[in-house]
Structure 1
Amino acid sequence: MQNFLLTLAYDGTNYCGFQVQPNGRSVAQTFQDGLEAVLGCRPDIKGCSRTDAGVHALGFMLNFHADTRIPVEKLPLALNQHLPPDIRVLAARVVPEDFHARYAAHTKTYLYRIHNSPIDSPFDEKYYTRVPRRLDTAKMNTAARRFVGKHDFLALCAAGSSAAAHGDTVRTITACGVERKGDEVEITVTADGYLYNMVRILAGTLCEVGAGRMQPEAIPGILASRDRHKAGPTLPAKGLFLKSVEYD
């Protein structure tokens, strides 16, 4: 038995999230179907995160234990033959026996994409949120820096969070920035962990700053308040991507 670590990219549009759920088809279930077709068995898989319905991934990590004669370098091609085109295995490698894709993660980086234009793109409307009013990305960057550090992020947590119910709402953001590329505005956040809808609420708060409805100086007060109502709106899932996972 070897412990395989795989890197996946997927379009989350047609899925109820990564984790297996009773209310719809998940990325995990679909991946395991492909895994069973290749290996002849259905090993338990450990994902690095539980992405929500509609959220995409550029570098999702998962691991599983299996006994196979397929060389690790050929495993991605073998699996991709049995996966739908909206899920791709990008890479595979063997890791230590006790490695766990979620618990071994040091930080995770998310990307939120905004199309800052009154007109939609005919090509990738499924992969961004459109904000018609011109956003001030300089002010957004100033606000983004106020999120960096170890804070109680309850104000950026949606209702129904199990972490919030247990009072576990302190996280550390190590990097947060905003970059404009023409009509595209990209918000990138790196942290040691996230609360329910935290990045989508953070992105919504930065958009309020960019639109002039909130000042960057308000961010510390919002965090200190621990009041969800003081932060910005929760932006749609379709603009969110799990970009990468970093391990020690």
Structure 2
Amino acid sequence: MTSEAGAPRKERPIAHGVTHGVLLTIAYDGSAFSGWAAQRDTRTVEETVRGAIRALDPRADGPRGCSRTDAGVHARGQRAAFDATLHIPPRGWVLALNQHLPDDVSIRAAQVVPVGFHPRFASRMKRYRYALVFDKVRDPLLRNRAWRIGYEMDMAKMQREAAAIVGTHDFAAFRSAGDERDVTTRTIESVTVAPSPSDPHQWSIAFEGSAFLYNMVRILTGTLVDVARGHLPEGTIAKALASKNRGDAGQTAPAHGLLLEHIELNLPEGAGEAWPP
């Protein structure tokens, strides 16, 4: 999943020669990445995008990402910003950056923003979508895109259980041990459990909220699956919310079924139009 910020923003010094900020929308296949955030001696999306930016503008500062997706997690709507020293229009940034990126990462849009803009502190809504496929036999075309489940599932039960997630709750029971933040209350606006219109064997769970804890969506998904398969009783999510005990929740769903689909930002005054529109 992703790690959301709880600490106040620290102002960054403006690099010499910076003329404007650029906000990117980024898509990537997370299969061959160790997540978004830069790490030593491993391939990450942040460092890959940074390399493309520096190939064009060696003095640029960034990128500053909005969500720290885990290894194997995909994105269609990651947002990241950097400060540029070159005067290049948004169309030019999109086309030129993509020439320096591998096939599993793409800049989908760009727009001018004020210098120093950080999307992490401007996020007002994020949508994650988890893909499930019900199949007794593996499908090689979905192996890195959906969690294959071979046992019987009661999806009406899952839909009922998902209703308990909506609202403002303390989600301490739905975070991994690596999340050490003191504030674990989050607001989830909606959870939608629905089949694919083109394939009844494929379902997705869409979560919309202002912020999420580390592995929160994957643990919520794993718990919903455990309830739908009869491994845990209905009411498990409500019980775990009340107890704040990770042991009362279900399994952690695999990373490869998760997609960061969209991030809605509060754009600053002076932000330009995105290209493509």
Q: Same fold (TM over 0.5)?
A: yes
In the TM superposition, what whole-angstrom CA distance separates every residue of 1:63-108 from its partner, at most 9, and x where no partner exists? 1111223221221111010000000000001123453210000011
Q: Does the 8 Å contact 1:47/1:101 carry over to 2?
A: yes
For the residue of structure 1 that corresponds to 2:211, the secondary structure is coil
Which of 11, 20, 36 aligns to 2:54? It is 36
Letter in 2 for 1:18: W
In the TM superposition, what whole-angstrom CA distance separates every residue of 1:34-90 from its partner, at most 9, and x where no partner exists? 111122334222100111111110100001111223221221111010000000000
Give the aligned partner of residue 243 of structure 2. 225
Q: Does the 8 Å contact 2:59/2:85 carry over to 1?
A: no
Query: Which stretch has the larger CA shift, 190-199 or 84-93?
Result: 190-199
Letter in 2 for 1:52: D
Give the aligned partner of residue 148 of structure 2. 130
Q: Does the 8 Å contact 2:219/2:249 carry over to 1?
A: yes
Percent sequence identity over matched residues? 40
Letter in 2 for 1:137: M
2:184 corresponds to 1:169? yes
Distance in 1 of aligned mates of 2:207 and 2:127: 5
Letter in 2 for 1:156: F
CA drift at 1:23: 4.8
Give the aligned partner of residue 57 of structure 1. 75
Change (3 A) 1:23 1:140: farther
Distance in 1 of aligned mates of 2:159 and 2:217: 15
2:221 corresponds to 1:206? no
In the TM superposition, what whole-angstrom CA distance separates every residue of 1:174-202 from its partner, at most 9, and x where no partner exists? 11111112111101111111111110000
Which structure 1 residue ranges, 5 or more long, are not aligned?
A: none
For the residue of structure 1 that corresponds to 2:69, the secondary structure is coil
CA drift at 1:218: 3.0
Give the aligned partner of residue 131 of structure 2. 113
5 Å-filtered alignment, 1:65-214, equals: 65-163=83-181, 167-181=182-196, 182-214=200-232
For the residue of structure 2 that corresponds to 1:3, the secondary structure is strand
Distance in 2 of aligned mates of 1:174 and 1:106: 11
Q: Does the 8 Å contact 1:35/1:41 carry over to 2?
A: no
Q: Does the 8 Å contact 2:165/2:237 carry over to 1?
A: yes
Letter in 2 for 1:173: I
In the TM superposition, what whole-angstrom CA distance separates every residue of 1:193-212 from its partner, at most 9, and x where no partner exists? 11111100000011012112
Distance in 2 of aligned mates of 1:179 and 1:38: 43
In the TM superposition, what whole-angstrom CA distance separates every residue of 1:120-143 from its partner, at most 9, and x where no partner exists? 212121111111123222221111
Q: Does the 8 Å contact 1:16/1:23 carry over to 2?
A: no
Distance in 1 of aligned mates of 2:38 and 2:29: 16
Q: Alignment RMSD, CA only?
A: 1.4
Give the aligned partner of residue 215 of structure 1. 233
Which structure 2 residue ranges, 5 or more long, are not aligned?
A: 1-18, 267-277
2:265 corresponds to 1:247? yes
Distance in 2 of aligned mates of 1:73 and 1:216: 50
Where do 4+ consecutive residues of structure 1 move more than 6 Å? none
For the residue of structure 2 that corresponds to 1:194, the secondary structure is coil
CA drift at 1:160: 1.9
TM (normalized to structure 2)? 0.85
2:216 corresponds to 1:235? no
Q: Does the 8 Å contact 2:60/2:83 carry over to 1?
A: no
